[in-house]
């Protein structure tokens, strides 16, 4: 079945820019969504339809897309951004959804 691939971990210093990628063959056809999950909490939607930001999500979170890869960019990373990040999208026929394997963001 369909898979989305993310790097297991990304590390950045405070104030730097973090980029988390998500690759999948159907991404040129299907939107991607990004979630932030902190320990013991439910995930929170931070990017939808590749690049849109829900209300209440800080502007430092942004999304972009290029072919079979989508990228979550966090500009000016803060300590509170340390969390697991997951991408989500659908298979090429939009029959079902999948999540990526998750990326642990460490703020050094």
Partner 1 sequence: QITLKESGPTLVKPTQTLTLTCTFSGFSLTTNKVGVAWIRQPPGKALEWLALIYWNDDKRYSPSLKSRLTITQDTSKNQVVLTMTNMDPVDTGTYYCAHRMVTTDGFDFWGQGTMVTVSS
By CB under 8 A, is residue 1 in contact with partner 1?
yes
- Burial class of 85 by CB neighbour count within 10 A (0 to 12, 13 to 18, 19+): buried
Cβ at position 97, least distance to partner 1 in Å: 5
- Are 69 and 27 in contact by the 8 Å Cβ rule? The answer is yes
Select the span of 11-19, 20-28, 68-76, 100-108 touching partner 1 (CB under 8 A): 100-108
Longest Cα separation, the chain: 40
By CB under 8 A, is residue 3 in contact with partner 1?
no
Strand partners, 10: 105
Number of residues that bind partner 1 (CB under 8 A): 25
Instruction: Give the number of other CB atoms < 10 A from CB of residue 80.
Output: 9
Of 55, 29, 46, 31, which is closest to residue 80 (Cα–Cα)?
46
Q: Which of 45, 66, 76, 108 binds partner 1 (CB under 8 A)?
A: 45
By CB under 8 A, is residue 102 in contact with partner 1?
yes
Of residues 78 through 97, those in contact with partner 1 by CB under 8 A are 86, 88-90, 94-97
Binding site for partner 1 (CB under 8 A): 1, 31, 33, 35, 37, 42-45, 48-49, 54, 86, 88-90, 94-102
């Amino acid at each position: 079945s369909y898979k989305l691939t993310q790097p297991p971990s990304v590390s950045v210093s405070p104030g730097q820019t973090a980029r988390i990628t998500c690759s999948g063959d159907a991404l040129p056809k299907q939107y991607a969504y990004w979630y932030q999950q902190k320990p013991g909490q439910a995930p929170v939607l931070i990017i939808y339809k590749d690049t849109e930001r829900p209300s209440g999500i800080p502007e430092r979170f942004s999304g972009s897309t290029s072919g079979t890869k989508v990228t979550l960019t966090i500009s000016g990373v803060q300590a509170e951004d340390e969390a697991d990040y997951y991408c989500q999208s659908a298979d090429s026929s939009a029959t079902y959804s999948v999540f990526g394997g998750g990326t642990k963001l460490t703020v050094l």
